[in-house]
Amino acid sequence: MGYPFFLALNLLHTSSLTLNYSDMSIKELLLNGTSFLLLMKEYAVDIADIKIKDEDVLNVQFLQHPQVTKESICIEGKNKDGIINFFGTLHYNLRNKLAVFEMQGFEQSACQELI
């Protein structure tokens, strides 16, 4: 009699964890790490102006595969000289609410408004 009850509790616990994964956006996870903040500071990018391209699509994909994995992404930021696009790999583990951006390159364009 105890085994089905344990299984039901385990399923309940697992489904509640899945709901908690969506509590934090990729941007919020990245901003929890000091190395990402230092990278933005190095390029004088205001964190309020950071946009992760296709973040909605990535969030859905990450919810389907919350284990440790990686994805190529583009992060768009703005500083006094214009728009900076950072290209790299996002390593993430939603179960532990961790995300790390590994920059592989960037491009900067003249000042214009973020779309």
Q: Where are the domains of the chain?
A: 2-109
pLDDT at 17 over 70: no
pLDDT band at 7 (very low <50, low <70, confident <90, very high): very low
pLDDT digits (tens, 9 = 90+) for 54-110: 888 888 887 787 777 888 999 999 998 899 999 999 998 877 888 899 999 999 998
Residue for token pair 């994964």: 21
> What is the C-alpha to C-alpha distance for residues 64 and 66, in angstroms, rounded to an integer?
6
Average pLDDT over every residue of 21-25:
63
> What is the C-alpha to C-alpha distance for residues 69 and 10, in angstroms, rounded to an integer?
24
Q: Are 81 and 56 in contact (CB under 8 A)?
A: no
Listed residue (111, 61, 59, 58) closest to 83, CA to CA: 111
Q: Which amino acid is at 75?
A: I
Q: Mean pLDDT over all residues of the chain? A: 77
> What is the C-alpha to C-alpha distance for residues 110 and 102, in angstroms, rounded to an integer?
24
16 versus 73: the higher-pLDDT residue is 73
